[in-house]
């Protein structure tokens, strides 16, 4: 018998529901074999430590939303460009009304009234703040403080939780419970003297012929600037509009603050026309806008300087999202929260208008993110694509390994109790609804050794990349890396861009950075320019890029055929003719891409 909804009823009425749930047998909802390698159980979690639990409710209409995504993103489909509104995506992400009722009744049975709940725009996420003791009662589990033996950082987590059986079909997941994701910026400093690939020597006459046949300053082989990228990727003569409605969005996490003094100094150095311009700052989940030089974030500086510098005067938005999992248990810090993608998604999906292009340079090993959570975050990315947003993610800095940019120190082990050696794909780059960006170096371009790439263990290969990936796999010698990767998984990256020797201004000084953190905002900037061209010509923005890239867009990319991405004690995959899991289908040729996208509906 279905329980009567308690929404809006007096608290006394909740006692009926409370009794019913207490009589209902608990059943394990989610469990993991144990914490990831390097984490150990330190102590019981303090009962009064506050947790912010996020409850994901099922989205029964998601297959319909996904169908919309495929249709509006396919240039050959009659609905191409007919992106959905916020209200339309909300309706397709909404839970069944019965789910809302039953989950509300369960929460009320534990003393949580409607005013204690925070609901997402589509009502598919419910957020509550509860002490560990209450969470343990609700989830029939025991939380512990887990410590990382390398860093000493801690998280309050459990390896298993249960729910009343009646709730299982009405709740997809609850976190933080079993998720030990570290969530890091995909950037690397240039202090790898034993690993760094030497730049090509300057040519005698001071220029190099780029892939488009144009001349590129030879200095670009040692120092990558805005001018270098515009030359290399063939956009020198293109000027974006400040008023056609096009926007570029960049994300910041983990207390990475974009310093405005650094930005203005960078503009003076690399794009004087942009000097004095600014961007829109948006705080999410308490994200700060700390302008102290001492607190400037090199990742945030890199993203804003090159992203907004390349696309100026296109209006830019920087999202600062607060919250990161590690905390110091001795201090009983209240900042032990979820990894922040869900907060960012909650916010942007609740907005009526969004930037047409968004880049993110953060991620983690796929296996540290529970499958249920990864699929829900990925579904949120699909909703962004259906709304016409092109979403780019860095592919990672560990080659085929664990995100450690030094292949010699990588630990590539499965997290399923078997501890077998395996390649470790990155998430969210492995989500089939985003465009993952790998990294190149030098002119002529080759793959840079840290360029993350491989095959998802969670997501099946989407049909849009079947032909390209099958062709690549057919070239591999029989048995190559057998058992180390999933040949049926979503393959990444999709594309690439320069990712080494980027000159940035950081805390008032110029310095060099590298990583796919450079590549993603770079590729996204050229996508933003393409959206600018389409909007100025009365066309819709490109939206989710991958169906276009794999069907025809690849012909307007510079194919990268040399280099590899070592890791896990192997040489990794090789770049080759056509798509490969190091540089995808290649780097942008803006003029070719613009001609192509302006020829589409």
Q: What is the DSSP string of 535-554?
A: HHTT-----S-HHHHHHTGG
The runs of H, that is alpha helices, within 440-512 are 466-475
**Strands 495-498, 435-441: pairing kind:** parallel
Give residue-wise pLDDT tens across range 442-486: 999 999 999 999 999 999 999 999 999 999 999 999 999 999 999
Residue 504 has pLDDT above 50, yes or no: yes
In terms of average pLDDT, the best of 16-20, 178-182, 241-245 is 241-245
Mean pLDDT over 542-550 rounds to 98
Share of the chain above pLDDT 90, in %: 78
- Rounded distance, CA 516 to CA 560, Å? 16
**What secondary structure, in 3-state letters, does 17-81 show?**
HHHHHHHCCEEEEEECCCCCCCEEEEEECCCCCEEEEEEECCCCCHHHHHHHHHHHHCCCCCCCC
Residue 334 has pLDDT above 50, yes or no: no
Catalogue the active-site residues.
299, 303, 517
Residue 26 has pLDDT above 60, yes or no: yes
- Rounded distance, CA 590 to CA 560, Å? 16
Mean pLDDT over 507-528 rounds to 96
Mean pLDDT lowest among 184-188, 246-250, 394-398? 184-188
Confidence grade of residue 21 (pLDDT, cut at 50, 70, 90): confident
pLDDT of residue 337: 53
Write out the two tokens for 52: 């912010």
pLDDT of residue 6: 33
Residue 5 has pLDDT above 80, yes or no: no
Residue 7 has pLDDT above 50, yes or no: no
Q: Is 439 or 189 the better-scoring residue by pLDDT?
A: 439
Count of CB atoms within 10 A of residue 512's CB? 16
pLDDT of residue 151: 77
Mean pLDDT lowest among 284-288, 308-312, 400-404? 400-404
583 Cβ partners below 8 Å, 6+ apart? 438, 439, 440, 447, 451, 453, 493, 495, 496, 560, 563, 575
Confidence grade of residue 205 (pLDDT, cut at 50, 70, 90): low
Give residue-wise pLDDT tens across range 69-83: 999 999 999 999 999
Residue 95 has pLDDT above 90, yes or no: yes
pLDDT of residue 410: 81
Confidence grade of residue 322 (pLDDT, cut at 50, 70, 90): confident
pLDDT of residue 2: 31
User: Helix %, strand %, coil % for the chain, to 5?
Assistant: 30, 25, 45
Domain ranges, ordered by start, for the chain = 11-59+94-179, 185-487+495-599
pLDDT of residue 478: 93
pLDDT of residue 295: 87
- Rounded distance, CA 376 to CA 391, Å? 16
The H or E element spanning position 300 is helix 298-311
- Known binding-site residues for Ca(2+) equal 559-560, 578, 580
Residue 13 has pLDDT above 60, yes or no: no
Distances (CA, A) of 71 to 79, 82, 385, 547, 550: 6, 9, 11, 10, 15
- Rounded distance, CA 64 to CA 68, Å? 6
How high is the mean pLDDT of the chain? 90
Residue 511 has pLDDT above 80, yes or no: yes
Distances (CA, A) of 477 to 51, 565, 570: 50, 17, 15
pLDDT of residue 339: 61
Residue 165 has pLDDT above 50, yes or no: yes
Mean pLDDT over 432-444 rounds to 97
pTM of the model: 0.93
- Rounded distance, CA 5 to CA 97, Å? 10
- Rounded distance, CA 12 to CA 101, Å? 17
Mean pLDDT over 392-408 rounds to 85
List phi, psi (to 5°) of 291: -100, 15
Confidence grade of residue 226 (pLDDT, cut at 50, 70, 90): very high
Mean pLDDT over 12-33 rounds to 69
Say if CB 575 and CB 583 are below 8 A apart.
Answer: yes
pLDDT of residue 300: 93
Distances (CA, A) of 274 to 21, 237, 308: 60, 16, 9
Confidence grade of residue 20 (pLDDT, cut at 50, 70, 90): low
Architecture label for domain 185-487+495-599: 3-Layer(aba) Sandwich (3.40)
pLDDT of residue 446: 98
Mean pLDDT over 305-332 rounds to 81
What DSSP state is assigned to residue 274? G
572 Cβ partners below 8 Å, 6+ apart? 399, 400, 453, 564, 565, 566, 582
Residue 416 has pLDDT above 90, yes or no: no
Say if CB 338 and CB 352 are below 8 A apart.
Answer: no
Residue 194 has pLDDT above 50, yes or no: no
Residue 326 has pLDDT above 60, yes or no: no
pLDDT of residue 191: 34
Mean pLDDT lowest among 59-68, 172-181, 492-501, 575-584? 172-181
Residue 389 has pLDDT above 80, yes or no: yes
């Amino acid at each position: 018998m279905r329980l009567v909804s308690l929404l809006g009823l007096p608290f006394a009425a909740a006692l009926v529901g409370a009794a019913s749930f207490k009589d209902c047998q608990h059943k394990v909802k989610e469990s993991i074999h144990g914490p990831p390698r390097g984490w150990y159980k330190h102590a019981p979690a303090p009962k009064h430590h506050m947790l912010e639990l996020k409850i994901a409710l099922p989205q029964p209409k998601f297959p319909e939303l996904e169908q919309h995504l495929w249709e509006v993103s396919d240039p050959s489909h009659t609905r191409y460009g007919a992106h959905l509104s916020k209200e339309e995506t909300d309706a397709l992400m909404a839970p069944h009304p019965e789910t809302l009722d039953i989950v509300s009744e369960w929460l009320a049975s534990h003393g949580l009234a409607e005013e204690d709940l925070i609901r997402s725009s589509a009502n598919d996420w419910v957020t509550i703040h509860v002490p560990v003791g209450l969470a343990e009662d609700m989830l029939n589990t025991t939380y512990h403080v887990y410590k990382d033996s390398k860093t000493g950082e801690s998280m309050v987590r459990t390896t298993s939780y249960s729910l009343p059986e009646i709730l299982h079909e009405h709740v997809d997941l609850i976190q933080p419970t079993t998720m030990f994701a570290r969530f890091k910026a995909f950037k690397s400093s240039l202090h790898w003297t034993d690993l760094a690939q030497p730049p090509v020597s300057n040519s005698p006459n001071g220029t190099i012929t780029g892939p488009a046949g144009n001349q590129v300053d030879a200095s670009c082989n040692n120092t990558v600037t805005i001018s270098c990228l515009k030359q290399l990727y063939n956009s020198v003569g293109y000027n974006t509009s400040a008023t056609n409605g096009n926007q570029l969005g960049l994300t910041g996490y983990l207390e990475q603050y974009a310093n405005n003094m650094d930005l203005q100094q960078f503009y003076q150095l690399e794009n004087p026309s942009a000097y004095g311009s600014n961007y829109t700052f948006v705080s999410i989940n308490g994200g700060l806008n700390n302008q102290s030089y001492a607190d400037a974030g090199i990742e945030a500086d890199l993203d804003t300087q090159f992203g907004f510098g390349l696309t100026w005067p296109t209006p830019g938005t920087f999202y600062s999202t607060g919250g990161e999992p590690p905390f110091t248990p001795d201090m009983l810090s209240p900042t032990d929260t979820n990894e922040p993608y869900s907060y960012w998604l909650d916010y942007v999906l609740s907005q009526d208008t969004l930037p047409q292009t968004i880049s993110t340079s953060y991620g983690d090993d796929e296996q540290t993110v529970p499958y249920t959570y990864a699929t829900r975050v990925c579904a949120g990315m699909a909703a962004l694509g259906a709304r016409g947003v092109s979403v780019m993610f860095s592919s990672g800095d560990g080659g085929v390994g664990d995100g450690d940019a030094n292949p010699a120190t990588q630990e590539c082990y499965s997290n399923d109790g078997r501890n077998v050696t395996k390649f470790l794909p990155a998430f969210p780059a492995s989500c089939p609804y985003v465009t993952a960006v790998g990294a190149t170096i030098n002119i002529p371009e080759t793959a840079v050794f840290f360029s993350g790439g491989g095959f998802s263990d969670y997501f099946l290969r989407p049909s849009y990349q079947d032909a390209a990936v099958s062709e690549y796999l057919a070239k591999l010698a029989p048995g190559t890396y057998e058992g180390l990767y999933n040949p049926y998984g979503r393959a990444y990256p999709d594309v690439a861009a320069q990712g080494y020797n980027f000159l940035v201004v950081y805390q008032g000084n110029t310095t060099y950075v590298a990583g796919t953190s450079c590549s993603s905002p770079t590729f996204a900037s050229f996508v933003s320019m393409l959206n600018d061209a389409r909007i100025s010509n009365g066309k819709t923005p490109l939206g989710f890029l991958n169906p276009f890239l794999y069907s025809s867009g690849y012909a307007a990319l510079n194919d990268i055929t040399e280099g590899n991405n070592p890791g896990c004690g192997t040489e990794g995959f090789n770049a080759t003719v056509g798509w490969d899991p190091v540089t995808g289908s290649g780097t942008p040729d803006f003029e070719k891409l613009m001609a192509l996208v302006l020829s589409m509906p």
